[in-house]
Amino acid sequence: MDNDRIIKLLKEICSTPEPEEKKAFFQGLEDQGLISRRPVVINHGDFLLRQFFYIGKWIWLLSAVLLLCIMGICYGNIGNYPFALTPLLAVEILVETGRSSRWKMAELEYTARFSLRSVMLARIFLVGIVETAGLLVVIWVVRPWFSYSLIRVFLYMMVPYLAASLLGSVYERKNRSDNNWGSIIICFLSSGLFAAAPYYLSSLYEERFTVIWTVAFILLVFSLVVSMRRWICELEEAVWN
Amino acid sequence: MELIADRITKQYKNKIAVDRMSFTLTKGVTGLLGANGAGKTTLMRLLCGVLAPDSGTVSCDGMSVGTEEYRDILGYLPQDFGFYPEFSGKDFLLYMSAVKGLTKKDAIQKTKELIELVGLGDSAGKKVRTYSGGMRQRLGIAQALLNDPQILIMDEPTAGLDPQERIRFRELISGLGKNKIVLLSTHIVSDLEHIADRLMIMKDGQLRWQGNRSAGGEDLEAFYISQIGEKR
């Protein structure tokens, strides 16, 4: 048998059959309104609210557990060590922000109306706002158990959290991997560093260094915004290129 | 409605994936044929705004590709996509509805309709990670239709579908092509034989041929092979 005959024979055997009940199928589509009905679209506020319910429950659970641990350790009155736990909160924002690319959903989200940028910003905003609010409540509750002013407790809590978030976001941006172990390790290392700080650099927690903590806080907020923005931009463009 | 690509080019390091391609797509089904590595996926990504062209433009009725208004009328099925592991098929469609901006009421209704349409009614509540390749592909097709797109771009949509599923898919696409711009890529000629109104044939990043399906004659495969200059 020559090649042409084999090809013809294979084509006959392998070709897909003609569609059946085509007319009834199209009628069904028309009846259901699938072909011509344009849906109404939601605004950015509604989108943000809907995204809240798509953030993993474990994120909120872990946040609550960590915040309770910080409060418990503060109540135990063991010096400046509770401040070292706040970098662990950064794990959640980093894991949540990188979720789209980790699970190969980024391309689908990118071509949707609200786009990947909105999805990532919504996650950063929601997890960030809830964690910051939680930390502010903790700061207000534990403040009487320290001899520091409210602003100093705030700085000692927030600077480690922001530092870990910044380092983790830079790492995630530069090393796009299928998991978050790199940034998780960074958060734990930051936590260890701030746990060791009161032991090796106890003077850092003296009142005269409050200005340095304030400057560090402002710089970290600014750098984190820049880093997150670059992370989103690079994920949108560079992943595909 | 017209989707116009004007001399679009995309280069990766030393390979030109799409080379100065110009064409106009109107309502109806257009089949994009080409061997693996011909540049079909890159072209589709350029048309969806996922990739930015190195030169040239893509627009639809004055809307530039990549804008919110363009994305609003776009439905896209990528060749390779994933799912959040905690999602069931229904959860996935509801989530994509939210990202596409559908109201909750519309999202629920569209999800229900599309789950039935792609034949996933019995498995809608099951985790997507338990789905077969064909079921995942059908779910991908369903998400592309959620916002009732005017432009529907599907990259290798029949990959992983069994013959019965392919029939359903072809029926669906034929129907949708009546009032939408539908572009679907494949390297399987028989996928397009009965549903494409127009054809585009790509090789090495270049558009080798474009025209009406009827111009391809009865034996589309022979026509395709003759256009890409290969012997049987």
Q: Give the pLDDT confidence score for residue A237 in this predicted structure.
A: 64
Confidence of residue B224 (pLDDT cuts 50, 70, 90): confident
DSSP assignment of chain B equals --EEEEEEEEEETTEEEEEEEEEEE-SEEEEEEE-TTSSHHHHHHHHHTSS--SEEEEEETTEETTSHHHHHTEEEE-SS----TT-BHHHHHHHHHHHTTB-HHHHHHHHHHHHHHTT-GGGTTSBGGGS-HHHHHHHHHHHHHTT--SEEEEESTTTT--HHHHHHHHHHHHHHTTSSEEEEEES-THHHHTT-SEEEEEETTEEEEEEEGGGG-S-HHHHHHHHTT---
pLDDT at A23 over 70: no
- Are A79 and A145 in contact, with CB atoms under 8 Å apart? no
CA-based nearest distance B121→chain A, Å: 16
Distance between CA A187 and CA B153 in Å, rounded?
41
Q: Check B99 against A17: CB less than 8 A apart.
A: no
Q: Which domains does chain B have, with CATH numbers?
A: 1-73+149-232 (3.40.50.300), 82-147 (no CATH)
Q: Give the pLDDT confidence score for residue A238 in this predicted structure.
A: 47
| Structural domain boundaries in chain A | 44-237
Distance between CA A42 and CA B104 in Å, rounded?
9
Give the chain B residue whose CA is nearest to the CA of A56.
B86
Q: Give the pLDDT confidence score for residue B44 in this predicted structure.
A: 95
Q: Give the pLDDT confidence score for residue A26 in this predicted structure.
A: 63
Confidence of residue A180 (pLDDT cuts 50, 70, 90): confident
Q: What are phi and psi of B127, to 5 degrees?
A: -65, 140
SS3 A201: coil
B48, B114, B171: residue with CB nearest A19 = B171
Q: Check A237 against B171: CB less than 8 A apart.
A: no
- The answer to whether residue B104 neighbours chain A at the CB level (below 8 Å) is yes
Q: Give the pLDDT confidence score for residue A21 in this predicted structure.
A: 62
Confidence of residue A164 (pLDDT cuts 50, 70, 90): very high
pLDDT digits (tens, 9 = 90+) for A197-215: 888 888 888 889 999 999 9
- Are B102 and B146 in contact, with CB atoms under 8 Å apart? yes
pLDDT digits (tens, 9 = 90+) for B7-21: 999 998 888 999 999
Report residue A110 as tokens.
């990118």
Q: Give the pLDDT confidence score for residue A239 in this predicted structure.
A: 46
pLDDT at B29 over 70: yes
Q: Give the pLDDT confidence score for residue A31 in this predicted structure.
A: 59
pLDDT at A38 over 70: no
> What's chain B's average pLDDT?
90
Distance between CA A113 and CA A111 in Å, rounded?
7
Question: What mean pLDDT is predicted for residues A148-170?
Answer: 94
Q: Give the pLDDT confidence score for residue A7 in this predicted structure.
A: 76
pLDDT at A233 over 90: no
Q: Give the pLDDT confidence score for residue B55 in this predicted structure.
A: 94
Give the chain B residue whose CA is nearest to the CA of A2.
B232
Which residues of A are less than 8 Å from B72 in CB distance?
Answer: 41, 113
Q: Check A34 against B148: CB less than 8 A apart.
A: yes
pLDDT digits (tens, 9 = 90+) for B162-221: 888 888 888 888 888 888 999 999 888 888 888 899 999 999 999 999 999 888 777 888
Report residue B45 as tokens.
């990504």
Q: Give the pLDDT confidence score for residue B39 in this predicted structure.
A: 93
**Chain B residues 14-43 with a CB less than 8 Å from chain A:** none
pLDDT digits (tens, 9 = 90+) for B119-166: 899 999 999 999 998 899 999 999 999 999 999 999 988 888 888 888
SS3 A15: coil
Distance between CA B120 and CA B136 in Å, rounded?
10
B48, B84, B101: residue with CB nearest A41 = B101
CA atoms lying within 13 Å on the CB side of residue A146: 26
Which residues of B are less than 8 Å from A52 in CB distance?
Answer: none
Q: Give the pLDDT confidence score for residue A190 in this predicted structure.
A: 94
- Are B192 and B199 in contact, with CB atoms under 8 Å apart? yes
A35, A107, A119: residue with CB nearest B99 = A119
Confidence of residue A146 (pLDDT cuts 50, 70, 90): confident
- Are B67 and B52 in contact, with CB atoms under 8 Å apart? no
Distance between CA B93 and CA B84 in Å, rounded?
12
Which has the higher per-residue pLDDT, B26 or A30? B26
DSSP-derived letter for residue A145 is G
Q: Give the pLDDT confidence score for residue A203 in this predicted structure.
A: 87
Q: What are phi and psi of B36, to 5 degrees?
A: -60, 130
Q: Give the pLDDT confidence score for residue A186 in this predicted structure.
A: 94
pLDDT at A102 over 80: yes
Q: Give the pLDDT confidence score for residue B178 in this predicted structure.
A: 80
Confidence of residue A16 (pLDDT cuts 50, 70, 90): low
| pTM, entire model | 0.84
Confidence of residue A97 (pLDDT cuts 50, 70, 90): confident
CA-based nearest distance A219→chain B, Å: 33
> What's chain A's average pLDDT?
85
